[in-house]
Amino acid sequence: MDLTGAQLSRSYFQRVVRPLVEARWPGLPYAAARLGSGSDVLGLDDAMSRDHDWGLRLDLLVPATLVATVDRHLAEHLPETFAAHPVRFATTWDPVIRHRVQIQTARDLAVTRLGVDPTADLTPADWLSVTGQAVLEVTGGVVFADHAGELDGIRQRLEWYPDDVWRHVVATDWARLAQELPFVGRTGERGDELGSRVVAARLVGVALHLGHLLERRWPPYAKWLGTSFAGLARAGSATPPLHAAVAAGDWRDREQGLVDALRQLSRVQAEVGLPTVDDPVAPFWDRPYRGVREDAVTVVSDSIRDPAVLVLPRGVGAAEQWSDNVDLLTDSHRRRPPQA
């Protein structure tokens, strides 16, 4: 049976990389893991994943004074192949054929992915600038060794949002749902089936994001969002009505699927200890459509106590809530305001 990417990386570390490092630097405080980008970091790689950027990839985290020296040592002593896979290869972001043991400090790895320094105190703005995928690139992979403990400390600090920031982003998703749920019916009633489907699909995406928030799970980027959602212990039960919403051929069925899913997510919200309302859905004025009740939003936002969170603009939330621009979401530098 073929190894998964994480299994291959672990074997590569244990049988090749670790002996080379520990023979040269006995007692070195380092960490080794498979982090960063790639479906194998999330344990979701399959045969299709192997056509690019898959293989003998590994993160080796060492003291800053040794980064360049360790890199040179491995470049000189690594074999050409391991387990019938090339040790040196090009990637989509780097055409140079070289080994793919990424050597840096634990802090630098985290800052590169997040755009903020998780070894320092993070402000609410810092937390809102990171994406779920960025955090997963630091916390979602498998750690093979951590003799220094710095990586473990970073991963623990990134476990989840501070409580009031969590409430803020949950309220933001409810606000986003409230803004457009009536449009599923309004567009459909006007005969604009395409427009109704587009709105419904967008709201399904918001619901998938909300489900992750409620279960305190960082949402991955779009390719794996539905897969991850379906595996959520509580919120995953909303998968069938969300599927019905995107598959429906009539706007009424489309709207009903969304309504059923939002009611289920509201029940999950109560189960995890966040304030909620008896029913988040209500008629939209006197029209034959349904919308999200205002208090489904305010019941969460009114529970926030941190002054630094209270002053944040309502309905804007985190970077992945206010933009779906891929270049912005995948580039930590573009998610941060320019420094004066």
pLDDT tens track, the chain, 340 positions: 488 989 999 999 999 999 999 999 999 999 999 999 989 988 888 888 888 888 999 999 999 999 999 999 999 999 999 999 999 999 999 999 999 999 999 999 999 999 999 999 999 999 999 999 999 999 999 999 999 999 999 999 999 999 999 999 999 999 999 999 999 999 999 999 999 999 999 999 999 999 999 999 999 999 999 999 999 999 999 999 999 999 999 999 999 999 999 999 999 999 999 999 999 999 988 899 999 999 999 999 999 999 999 999 988 999 999 888 888 787 777 776 544 3
Give the 3-state secondary structure of residue 35: coil
Asked whether residue 175 falls in the same domain as residue 148, the answer is no
Give the 3-state secondary structure of residue 309: helix
Report how far residue 151's alpha carbon sits from residue 147's, in angstroms, rounded to the nearest whole number: 9
In the chain, the number of structural domains is: 2
Q: Six-digit token pair at 21?
A: 């490092």
Task: With respect to residue 334, please indicate whether it lies within any of the assigned structural domains.
Answer: no
Report how far residue 129's alpha carbon sits from residue 126's, in angstroms, rounded to the nearest whole number: 5
Asked whether residue 125 falls in the same domain as residue 200, the answer is no
Task: With respect to residue 330, please indicate whether it lies within any of the assigned structural domains.
Answer: no
Asked whether residue 313 falls in the same domain as residue 169, the answer is yes
Return the closest-CA partner of residue 16 out of 121, 64, 110, 87. 87
Asked whether residue 312 falls in the same domain as residue 167, the answer is yes
Q: Name 7's Cβ contacts closer than 8 Å, sequence gap at least 6.
A: none
Task: With respect to residue 146, please indicate whether it lies within any of the assigned structural domains.
Answer: yes
What is the span of the domain harbouring residue 207?
163-317
Task: With respect to residue 332, please indicate whether it lies within any of the assigned structural domains.
Answer: no
Residue 163: HSE in the Cβ half-sphere, 13 Å Cα cutoff: 9
Residue 296 to residues 123, 177, 261, 263, 288: CA-CA distances in angstroms? 26, 10, 14, 11, 20
pLDDT at 337: 55
Task: With respect to residue 328, please indicate whether it lies within any of the assigned structural domains.
Answer: no
Asked whether residue 256 falls in the same domain as residue 123, the answer is no
Domain endpoint, select from 157, 175, 192: 157
Asked whether residue 94 falls in the same domain as residue 227, the answer is no
Residue 70 to residues 34, 36, 86, 90: CA-CA distances in angstroms? 17, 20, 20, 20
Asked whether residue 16 falls in the same domain as residue 134, the answer is yes
Domain endpoint, select from 133, 157, 181: 157
Domain endpoint, select from 87, 122, 157: 157
Asked whether residue 42 falls in the same domain as residue 87, the answer is yes
Asked whether residue 60 falls in the same domain as residue 190, the answer is no
Q: Six-digit token pair at 144?
A: 């093979």
pLDDT at 52: 85
Report how far residue 54's alpha carbon sits from residue 76's, in angstroms, rounded to the nearest whole number: 22
C-beta separation of 121 from 114 below 8 A: no
Asked whether residue 135 falls in the same domain as residue 279, the answer is no
Task: With respect to residue 276, please indicate whether it lies within any of the assigned structural domains.
Answer: yes
Task: With respect to residue 168, please indicate whether it lies within any of the assigned structural domains.
Answer: yes
Task: With respect to residue 150, please indicate whether it lies within any of the assigned structural domains.
Answer: yes
Q: Name 320's Cβ contacts closer than 8 Å, sequence gap at least 6.
A: 131, 132, 133, 209, 219, 329
Asked whether residue 184 falls in the same domain as residue 101, the answer is no
Asked whether residue 93 falls in the same domain as residue 227, the answer is no
Report how far residue 44's alpha carbon sits from residue 242's, in angstroms, rounded to the nearest whole number: 22
